[in-house]
Structure 1
Amino acid sequence: MTRPTIAVWKFASCDGCQLTILDCEDELLAIAAALDIRMFLEAGPDELLDHYDISFVEGSITTAHDAERIRDIRERSGVLITLGACATAGGIQALRNSADVKEYTSAVYARPDWIHTLATSTPISDHVKVDRQLHGCPISKHELLATIAALLAGRRPTPTRHAV
């Protein structure tokens, strides 16, 4: 059986969901031979491929560049799974969505003209098709491992039936 190629991508976020993946070190070691992790900057691998079997995406879309980048990632991904509140709902940075961007950038930054941000922080699903969402801040380690195990077994991951 061919090992699925894996990518972990980051957008606007605190990195907590990526740290949850790294916190699965013992469990991931047990299945490492079944995975081919090619892109995961937080952990080291940095190989841009034309296609990844599974992409995990953390963070929300806050810039035009982010919106372009997530479309490219979707095209490269067989399965795209969003990780955490930022990717699934816009995250804490979405609190700015009711504010005036020009007003707060002028108040906060010495050079607001250097800030290239969208008016809102939006979830990944506002921009591309998402195959599975793992909710929480950060995500549940157990739900992540169950999702990976299901995908490796060729099954569709079962949604969690409890609150996070």
Structure 2
Amino acid sequence: MGVLKMVRIDYRMVHGQIVAKWIKFRPVDRLILADDALVEDDFMGDIYRMAVPQKDVDIVRISDIQKAIDAKNDKVLLIFKDVNAAYNAWKNGLVLPELNVGAIENATNRKTVLQGVALSQSEYKKLEEMQASGVHVFLQPIPENDAIELKSIEKKVF
């Protein structure tokens, strides 16, 4: 049975910061990319796997995350593409000890709350609901920066 060492939201999924920084800061054996659309995209899946050749990279549907975690006895970095994916997995029973909000792209309904992180009011409310249930939700784009607690950015969203 795998152990979640880190759970992150990052719309880029796998990129230089993940490979060069986060995996060293929080050592893991495997990455699980949870994204229903990515499961169907063999080309992008291959690119993500090639970006981290020294680690196993599993690409799974949101509904299959727990099965993927349990498939091996290792340390896992779980990455979601957006707040809705993390929220849906959590609402469907996935136990998340923490949630690192690392990178969410800006959009018309979102406000920038931190460099590289933009949230809508509904996304903030979902994260707040998760936090209230015991999930430690924090913002930390890179490991060198201190984690920022969710509540501290509330005024930037509303």
What is the TM-score when the length of structure 2 is the normalising length? 0.41
Larger proportion of strand: 2
What is the TM-score when the length of structure 1 is the normalising length? 0.40
